[in-house]
Structure 1
Amino acid sequence: KVPSYLGSSFAFLGPIGAAVASAGAGGGMAAALGGIVFTGVVLALVGLAVRAAGIGWVNWLLPPVVTGTIVMVIGFNLAGAAKGNFTKDPLIAIITLASIGLIGAISRGFMSRISIFLGLVVGYVVAYIMGDVDTKGISAAAWFDTPSFTTPTFSMNVMILFLPVVLVLIAENVGHVKAVAAMTGKDLDNQMGNALMADGVATTLAGFGGGSGTTTYAENIGVMAATKVYSTAAYWIAGVGAVLLSLSPKFGAVLSATPAGALGGVSTALFGMIGILGARIWIESRVDFSNSTNLLVAASALIIGIADYTWTRGDYTFTGIVNSTLVAVIGYRVLNAISEARSK
């Protein structure tokens, strides 16, 4: 009932790298997959708790000022990635971004809704004509093949490395579901537990299948914002299509060959749209920024997340999204409690 697409999560990269390094070449990836499975199980249990206890405690922990901030950080934290691709080939990036804008402005109906995709195609084709697309990998790839699998192994030392990822996934899921709710105008709080459970189950299956852990994809929220298509049927079709396409290395090679400039143009639009959805949560919830607690928490968390403040502790590096989430969640509760105690 929640229009959301699950894909590989960047939050797993840190602990996977640490797991591979600590476990050695012999069983590093297998141990990392065990950590992914562990993360999925914990997240599914959190979702089950939300279903049983209701969304009230989540709303208490994550009021609009916090969720809006998290959504904005999720989008704007990716600005560096968008810039990295954009600056690799500015001409193609500008052509792609301009194509998205022009198609959206002059088209109506279906064409307008897929302006993001069409803009990407335009950028890809122009780059191909200019000779900026490496086709060697496409030519060498087979049309059909089955993926290879690795059996997970479980080590407590490795699994502990993945615990912080659970916090990130909860924040991303809650923030994304809130963003979808704001975008569609539907109250999806009663589906929050199901969304967390679904991501947990998907992450568990991904780990057993040799893949990366999953999260709700912010990019698809941007696509929905641009297309105004919120049907869950589209995600069923996308899911089945993704499974079928995963059996074609040729298709994967075509995607891998997407020019950096085209990706930069598309991501500039999409990631910006995601960030603006966070502001929309603030506006529609009428967050009072004359309140010093709201202002300080949101401002500090945004800077920490956008600038990607990192903190390394042992084998794990807490990224900007994690740290901004901690500041937003914990900072709001502590400062709000102090403020309420003072007013009594």
Structure 2
Amino acid sequence: MPRLPWTLHGNGRTLERGAIVLPEERLAWPLTIGIGAQHVVAMFGATFLVPLLTGFPPSTTLLFSGIGTLLFLVITRNKVPSYLGSSFAFIAPITASTQANSPGAALGGVLVIGILLALLGLLVQAVGTRWISLLMPPVVMGSIVALIGFNLAPTAYTNFQKSPVTAVVTLFAVVLCTALFRGILGRVSVLLGVLIGYLVAVAREEVSFVEVGEADWLGLPHFTHPTLDLSLLPMFLPVIVVLLAENVGHVTSVGLMTGRKLDHMVGRTLFSDGLATSLSAVFGGSPTTTYGENIGVMSATKVYSTAAYWVAGIVAILLSLSPKVGALINTIPQGVLGGVTFVLYGLIGIVGVRMWVDGKVDFSRPKNQITAGVALVVGIANVTWTFGAITLTGIALGTVGALVIYHLMSGLGRVTGTDEGTEAVAHTGTDAASSTGMGEALREGTGDVAR
């Protein structure tokens, strides 16, 4: 029997005050399994919302989030504890491409981005991350992340209008759960809000359980396959910026909490994320990303053991093999989704603002004002430009605008002597908690969760 890669922390049953369980350590298996179950609960709310909002099969998404997590752990050699859940960054381009073509075309876009992200991971592994900060300083990266969130506002309102009463109840349930609870309950406030909104929808007879009753207890998820439409790719390309920020932020956060410098692992995390996203897209699942909800669980428990993530990945795979679970998830009505997405999409936008704050962006400087201002207006207005078979939407145009305006004004400023200096370079990445709308942020150097 092969030797497991974890050593037992202490006696495996207790954790001394101030002590942490490192990635290569574990507690006794009953405790490890319990912590793994907490990670499943933490990721579940946001992970199943993405397929509901995009029309992808929830069971397929769960299956490949579990498989993707296990691949991530193997590729990062069990050094970076992380769960790969559904990425909210893809919602806007998936929604737009699905409306224009078919789910297969949307999967094709996700597949290409996954491949590009994996290749980018290999590049980062070879040359480091410094070039990312030079190409996309905080004002640019923050603008791109913010416009992706705010671009989704009309989609949230469309769902909201389907059942305003249920939507309002769901919205305030999320708000109250976030304000009132701490610990694991506070970290799954979105899931609690959805459950409360769901119960209200059941009482209002907005939910049908017919398909749940007809579904089998055991069976394989529904698989679909991608088709390639190159004209849709410009809508997907800006997502790479968010994925870069998520992965850099995740690695930085874990490094701070465990007292280790993990910058050399960014290339591996990007490659793993890209590979998992590509694999999921091939079979019809949602794209993946590192999850900060699970960083919250680690911060609360001080247990960073990758053994717990192996448990979480295996549990997700087992859940995906029950069509009845997928059918139950699909019963969540649009009113509930409308309420929760007002929070989620708004917080994606606010993550971009936080990146400005963390990066100490000086908005008294015209180049920063114009870069952010133009990018946000283009994204919020969803400015669309079609030439030939290619259509650029607000996210793609806003991204291009932010990059071009910033570097054009910086270059001209250096030539004319009007530029006051370069931006402070900072890895102000958003972890997945922010990207999925949970809004959890690790205070610099402490590992405590600030709400």
Instruction: Please say whether Structure 1 and Structure 2 have the same fold, judged by a TM-score greater than 0.5.
Output: yes
Alignment pair present for 1:114 and 2:188: yes
Name whichever of 170-179 and 233-242 sits farther off: 233-242
Alignment pair present for 1:167 and 2:237: yes
Secondary structure of 1:286 counterpart: coil
1:36·1:212 contact (CA, 8 Å) conserved in 2? no
Secondary structure of 1:287 counterpart: coil
What percentage of residue pairs aligned between the two structures are identical? Answer: 39
Change beyond 3 A, Cα 1:101–1:181: farther
Alignment pair present for 1:99 and 2:173: yes
- Hey, what's the Cα distance between the residues in 2 that align with 1:58 and 1:216? 18
Name whichever of 255-264 and 38-47 sits farther off: 38-47
Match of 2:277 in 1: 203
2:231·2:391 contact (CA, 8 Å) conserved in 1? no
> How big is the alpha-carbon RMSD for the aligned residues of Structure 1 and Structure 2?
3.5
Secondary structure of 1:317 counterpart: strand
> How many residues get paired?
329
1:176 is aligned, of 235, 238, 246, to 246
Match of 1:7 in 2: 86
- Hey, what's the Cα distance between the residues in 1 that align with 2:286 and 2:164? 32
Alignment pair present for 1:302 and 2:376: yes
Change beyond 3 A, Cα 1:67–1:227: farther
Match of 1:47 in 2: 121
**Deviations for 1:222-246, whole angstroms, at most 9, x for unmatched residues?**
8978997696857655543332222
- Hey, what's the Cα distance between the residues in 2 that align with 1:205 and 1:135? 31
Larger helix proportion, structure 1 or 2?
A: 1
1:5·1:235 contact (CA, 8 Å) conserved in 2? no
Secondary structure of 1:276 counterpart: helix
Stretches of structure 2 lacking an aligned partner (at least 5 in a row): 1-79, 419-451
Match of 1:277 in 2: 351
- Hey, what's the Cα distance between the residues in 2 that align with 1:204 and 1:49? 18
Alignment pair present for 1:194 and 2:271: no
Give the AA of the match of 2:130: G
Secondary structure of 1:131 counterpart: coil
2:144·2:238 contact (CA, 8 Å) conserved in 1? no
| RCO comparison, higher one (Cα < 8 Å, 6+) | 1
1:131 is aligned, of 176, 191, 205, to 205
Q: TM-score, normalised to structure 1's length? A: 0.80
Match of 2:328 in 1: 254
Secondary structure of 1:116 counterpart: helix
- Hey, what's the Cα distance between the residues in 2 that align with 1:302 and 1:67? 12
Alignment pair present for 1:143 and 2:217: yes
Give the AA of the match of 1:275: G
Change beyond 3 A, Cα 1:181–1:338: farther
Secondary structure of 2:332 counterpart: coil
Secondary structure of 1:216 counterpart: strand
Match of 1:311 in 2: 385
Secondary structure of 1:289 counterpart: coil
Match of 2:62 in 1: none
